[in-house]
Amino acid sequence: MQDYRMWVGGDWCDAAGGATFASANPYTGENWARFPRADAQDVDRAVEAAHLAFTEGDWPNWTASARGAALTRLAGLITEEAERLAEIEVRDNGKLMAEMGNQCRYMANWYAYYGGLADKVEGHVPPIDKPGVVNMVHYEPLGVCALITPWNSPLLLLAWKLAPALAAGNTVVIKPSEYTSASTLELMVLVEKAGIPPGVVNVVTGFGAEAGMPLVTHPLVRKIAFTGGESAGQAINEAAARDFKKVTLELGGKSPNIVFDDADLDAAVPGAVSGIFAASGQTCVAGSRLLLQESIYDDFLARLVGMAKAARLGDPMAPETNISPVATRAQHEKVLSYIETARAEGARCVLGGKAARPEGSGGHFVEPTIFVDVRNDMRIAQEEVFGPVLSVMRFRDEDEAVAIANDVLYGLAAGVWTRDLTRALRMSRRLQAGTVWVNTYRSTSYTTPFGGWKRSGLGRENGSEAIKEYLQPKSVWLAEPVAVANPFIRR
């Protein structure tokens, strides 16, 4: 059992009350690490440290170039440590080492990108409509930002928030998922090595109600950046609204993956498999509704089932494993209950549909599961399962595909497979989603915005626009002094 401590004001510390909680390895099922269990008192200490670092000391005097240089150093340190960080993530969330290794190496790009962007955010001088006046617009940081992350991609989703928040000059308090706190704490060693001053980045570990909500409602917190489920997102949005705090919310999805009859099936079949079964379906962008055009339906389905059936369940550290465990027992039960609901609603299971446990594992697996005869009004087609469960539907033409695709409460992402460029453009315009992939799926990048329509979220992460989510404009008026004849009339 490894003992971790929280990172507050540049010191490693325990919870004030001394409480702890444990984190289990989803593959072995055994607890491997212990963390301080923060409550409102610990959150207050962390927010005060962040507030102090924002208002006094070195950080407020750092130039944007100095902040950028520190982020660039952090990117280099992450690259050196990527394998080790990925191993910790696998131990905590059970996802494949092959995926988490790539993710941790790629994640360094966010720090390099926003490091480069830090001193390229320019204000402007509007041609103001008053004589003898110069008006300047500066972009200033917000203050203390609360960064709350989920368990499925802890360090990557933190990078989407932490890199722009620091580039913009804010200070932060991070609350990682109670299931995956270790990698975020390990990152703090690198944050310190990169020369980021004490108190600029703080981490409290604990649960949503005990640590997350006190962080959201703390009066000194000015912004909340959250990735997670819909119900927590709703609670955070409501609490933030009461104090007029800014929010960025990255929530769930029920993304359509649409295959037209002119698609390159050699690309589309693996695209559909990876869209839903990669990470055991535990991704916000999972292509959990597969829409197949009538004329290719049977052929596509046969190839899809063949490929999914061959997927190997096993140890996420082993390179030959394709399907990793579901991260928690609660999530496992939720996925299985959706499978039962789908059956009860009349969907037909053509692959999987059961729990599994490969030899040597003490964890919880679900077989890759495919349902056909799904109607779009069934719960399995409308609600996020967050597991390896695919709903397949058929469509006649473009209009019907669009109608089915958009008929959900979510709008995070959509996939389109076609060789017809004009159709691709039309579909990308008509689909209600923050991201549309044509002939690819699951790609994200630090250079392009990511976020959801409808109940999938608010605001955008990534790309050059995202830094504005951590800045506020200030309008400064410089006037030549003039004697005013009548001070009661505005100039």
- C-alpha R_g of the chain: 24
Near ligand NAD by CB under 6 A: residue from 213, 225, 390, 401: 213
The site map against ligand NAD for 464-483 (x = CB under 6 A) is --------------------
Q: Which residue has the CB atom at the shortest distance from ligand NAD?
A: 212
Helix-helix angle 154-167:64-93, to 10 degrees: 170
Tell me if residue 83 is catalytic. Answer: no
Q: In sequence order, which residues have a C-beta less than 8 Å from that of residue 298 and are 6 or more positions away? A: none
- 43 lies in the site for ligand NAD, by CB under 6 A: no
Q: Which of 48, 81, 178, 250 is catalytic?
A: 250
Which residues 160-179 are close enough to bind ligand NAD by CB under 6 A? Answer: 175-178
- Of residues 432 and 472, the one with the C-beta less far from ligand NAD: 432
Sole window of 46-54, 207-215, 356-364, 394-402 interacting with ligand NAD (rule: CB under 6 A): 207-215
Q: How many CB atoms lie within 10 A of CB 318?
A: 12
- 462 lies in the site for ligand NAD, by CB under 6 A: no
- Of residues 303 and 442, the one with the C-beta less far from ligand NAD: 442
CB 396, min distance to ligand NAD, A: 30
**CA distance linking residue 375 with residue 357, whole number of Å:** 31
CB 180, min distance to ligand NAD, A: 8
DSSP 391-446: EEEEESSHHHHHHHHH-SSEESEEEEE-S-HHHHHHHHHHS-SSEEEES--S---T
Near ligand NAD by CB under 6 A: residue from 35, 59, 113, 151: 151
- The answer to whether 266 and 288 have CB atoms below 8 angstroms apart is no
- Of residues 72 and 283, the one with the C-beta less far from ligand NAD: 283
Strand ranges (E), 30-124: 31-36
Q: Which of 89, 104, 210, 284 is catalytic?
A: 284
Q: How many CB atoms lie within 10 A of CB 242?
A: 8
Q: How many CB atoms lie within 10 A of CB 357?
A: 13
For residue 340, the SS3 value is: helix
Tell me if residue 400 is catalytic. Answer: no
- Of residues 41 and 295, the one with the C-beta less far from ligand NAD: 41
- 212 lies in the site for ligand NAD, by CB under 6 A: yes
Beta bridge partners of 478: 134
| CA-based torsion, 96, 99, 104, 105: positive or negative | positive
- Of residues 251 and 308, the one with the C-beta less far from ligand NAD: 251
* Residue ranges binding ligand NAD (CB under 6 A): 148-152, 157, 175-178, 207-209, 212-213, 216, 227-229, 232, 235-236, 250-252, 284, 384, 386, 412, 452, 457
- Residues serving a catalytic function are 250, 284
